[in-house]
Chains A and B, each alone.
Chain A
Amino acid sequence: MSVYNSLDSITEELHNCMKCGNCMEVCPIYKETRQEVGVARGKISLVQYLLSGELEMTEKLADRFSLCTTCMACNTNCPCGVRFDKIILAARAEAVRKKGLHPVKKIAFTALKMQRMFDFGMKTGSIFQGMALKHVPHKSDRIARMRFDIGIGTDKVFPMLASRTLRSEFPEVVKVKNPKMRVAFFTGCMINYFYTDIGKAVVEVLKENDIEVVIPKGQGCCGIPASVNGDVHSAAALAKRNLRAFEKLGADALVVACSSGGTAWKHVFGELLDNEPEFKALADKWAGKSYDISEFLIKKVPFKKEGLGRVERKVTYHDPCHLNRGQGVNTEPREILKSIPGVELIEMKEPGRCCGMAGSFSLVHPDLSVQISDRKTADIELTHTDTVATGCPACRLQLKSGVENAGIEEEVVHTIQILAESYKNGKKK
């Protein structure tokens, strides 16, 4: 029984909570609101009352369940080992079963499911986005601010849509001379449509390490934005679509460069398809050979150290929640950064603290998201670095928005971009 199908799957989890309140220490939402409903303990009790019949599933209750960035910080700090990440997913799925999807999210997810429309919308967007977004001049990131408020404020800085999607820039199979391995690249939406620079860096680095890269054209959204909000149907449909696309081309391993994609391939696909043995088997097979790009380059195929050129950067690293706590990947990106000549790694105060992006959380709770982000920005500023590296395009968006609005001169990039830059600089001489 998976958390997506029934609340019964989490009754034991709920009982294990002893209401000690330790989760208050780390919850980014509670830190801002200081209201019990913000913290895991509060939402756990709401689910308990729901199960005992003391509360009914109302729109208001569903709203309370939206108050979570799913950062998993409470999991890690819980003395009883309560998996709150499971509880919140189950609660949200239950809310959708009973009350339907939040209107803002509904529009977004339907679009995600209809890939062709999405492609089209995004492409026309790249021509017409000037009407809605105001370009912000900036040296490295193509970013923009909203011209008018569509309910998420006009302060948020967005990346400009790429003029060409990543997947249309590469053939399905990127060949190298003497391939030692064939690796499939799951790009995810943000890298495909916005941050193509991250995607290019991934391909460059893999090629540099004599790896053939497969980028299936049939791949789509990972479905995480849908599954974390309880839209299990959409998520399962997307999971199947992706599994088919990758199975068709086959590969020795699969890499991702975003934390949602990694979570999806390693954990969520299998859970979503629990009831469909054929797909479940496929999901498990691919889960076993899925890697975050930094994890892949440290653990699976140690990356080439010769040919690394100097990169003069003072870098601080932000841990994406779902990479760090979700997948246990936190030393690998740092190891990569430290091995690049010229890079000085300076840690910020709480690198593992959620940036407040959390996908559609920032759409539904824009003010809270910004408050959480402001703390992160302040921590970054204290490091006096020139670059923030991170392992997830969604975090990059949020961090960029934060430093830009605070007027801090700071580039925000994916770790892999700095590695690609180093290989490139190595060739210059």
Chain B
Amino acid sequence: MLAREVLQELIQVLGAENVLTEQEDLMTYAYDATAAMKHHKPDVVVSPNSTEQVAEVVKIAAKNNIPIYPRGSGTNLSGGTIPISGGIVLSMLNLNKIIEVDQDNLTATVQPGVIIQTLNDEVVKHGLLYPPDPGTVKTATMGGSLSECSGGLRGLKYGVTKHYIMGLQIVLANGEVIRWGGKTVKNVTGYDLVALFTGAEGTLGIITEIIVKLIPAPEARKSILAVFDDVDKAGKAIASIIRNKIIPATLEIMDNVTIQTVENFVHAGLPMDAQAVLLIEVDGYKEVVEREAVLVEQILQEEQAVEIKIAKNDQERDLLWLARRRALPALAQKRPTTVLEDATVPRSKIPDMIKAIRKIAEKHNLQIATFGHAGDGNLHPTILTDERDEDEMKRVHLAVDEIFKTAISLGGTLSGEHGIGIAKMGYLDWEFGEAGVAAMRRMKEALDPNYLLNPGKIVRRD
């Protein structure tokens, strides 16, 4: 519980309507989208309406040594917004203005509570695009996706969130406000704090304004679906496409378990015995897209795809995408609990990873479906389970451990896009070693010596 004076101070700064204290409200900020994660009730939820108010809240928290948990839409998958030490949940959703779209410099300036799709709806009017597109584009905030460095379907060609963040306004742990970066493409003034704060999961400072890079929206696109009777062949096809200097905007893969589940669910016309399906989309100028589509088709034939479908129009495109779009819903409806991982490996190791995951599933007698962004090596092994089944959950945790180990041993990483949060904090030394974890801790302590910003996430206090 917070002292009454602290609550009074918060109300004075923000107005009573922006300070939630009743437990019926507080309990709805005790969780986020992360599966099988313990919930924690915060002491208060505040919704500031300006950078100044954010700074005031941070100062009040600092003075009274109260933890702050920044929150966007709460759709992250690593426990990033769960207030495990109570304290203040700082909801950024009222800071939801698009401040500017600058067509000359190809940038947009937004507040962190803007929903990604809202920004895209605005810039598309000018023929522009903000490419990062996590599965939650229509619900996640700019601040949240920046803090997780979200990826999405277009990672292979267009990169991920960090490639589009040019400048930030940040409220530091002591309540001071700084600006870093800006609208210039080139900027080497000082340390690159913009890069550091991107993907920091709210543990280093509160983001209150963001300048992002925009690109001209591609003129045309073409989708191709290919079915394989062997995961290795699909893997070879992926490598071969890239080796032929074609960089598709998306290159998605679904394994046999996913295909069967989706097929039972939506009847998209995929063969049930297929071992892998690749979904490829090339985009760009019309002429280039036509040429690349033909090339991709040739390569797929050479690599022995058993079936190839090319969408001739938007309607056919939607149909090809149906199975991929419905993958998560189909899996999610099979069992009550869906544990979605995002271990990532170098592109060339995709077949090895898929096969390893299948072995792990057999070993622990679990249902694991694998789909994901094959083009950038980011797979989503999805464990279908039931939180209420204790024995099964034990096996789930063992399987997750092994998936992480395998990814690292293949030269990959724990998390491609979902972040560390609480969920993967314990595994960091597998990837960085003790010295690496200590280095990170020193950075955390330099910026937030009292561990007030999203404490208990990414870095464990010594």
Contacts and interface: CB of A to CB of B under 8 A. Distances in A.
Interface string B31-45: 111110001000000
B24 A16 contact: no
Given A36-B29, A45-B30, A79-B332, A22 B139 contact: yes
A17 to B, nearest CB: 9
Interface stretch (B123-131, B211-219, B234-242, B333-341): B333-341
B426 interface: no
Contacts of B73: 21, 24
Given A18-B35, A24-B75, 13 more contacts: A15-B387, A16-B336, A18-B332, A18-B336, A19-B32, A25-B139, A34-B47, A34-B91, A36-B29, A36-B74, A54-B27, A58-B24, A64-B25
B329 interface: yes
B27 A35 contact: no
B23 A36 contact: no
B138 A25 contact: yes
B329 A80 contact: yes
Q: Which 7 pairs across A and B sit closest by C-beta, in order of nearness? A: A79-B329, A42-B28, A36-B28, A34-B93, A15-B336, A21-B75, A25-B138
Nearest to A26: B138
A63 to B, nearest CB: 8
A131 interface: no
A10 to B, nearest CB: 13
Nearest to B113: A34
27 contacts: A15-B387, A16-B333, A18-B33, A18-B35, A18-B332, A18-B338, A19-B35, A21-B75, A24-B75, A24-B139, A25-B139, A34-B91, A34-B96, A35-B20, A35-B91, A36-B25, A36-B28, A36-B29, A37-B25, A46-B24, A60-B22, A63-B24, A64-B24, A79-B328, A79-B329, A79-B333, A80-B329
A21 B338 contact: no
Nearest to A25: B138
A170 interface: no
A35 B25 contact: yes
What class of interface size applies to chain A in its complex with B?
20 to 34
Given A24-B73, A79-B328, A79-B332, A18 B337 contact: yes
What does DSSP make chain B's interface, helix, strand, loop or mixed?
A: loop
Interface of B: 20, 22-25, 27-35, 39, 47, 73-75, 91, 93-94, 96, 113, 136, 138-139, 328-329, 332-333, 336-338, 386-388
A36 B31 CA distance: 10
Contacts of A58: 24
Interface in A218-268: none
Interface string A54-70: 11001011011000000
B75 A81 contact: no
B333 A55 contact: no
A148 interface: no
A24 B140 CA distance: 9
Contacts of B20: 35
Given A34-B93, A34-B94, A58-B24, A45 B31 contact: yes
A128 interface: no
A266 B439 CA distance: 65
B33 A19 contact: yes
Contacts of A19: 31-35
A20 interface: yes
A92 to B, nearest CB: 15
A35 B25 CA distance: 9
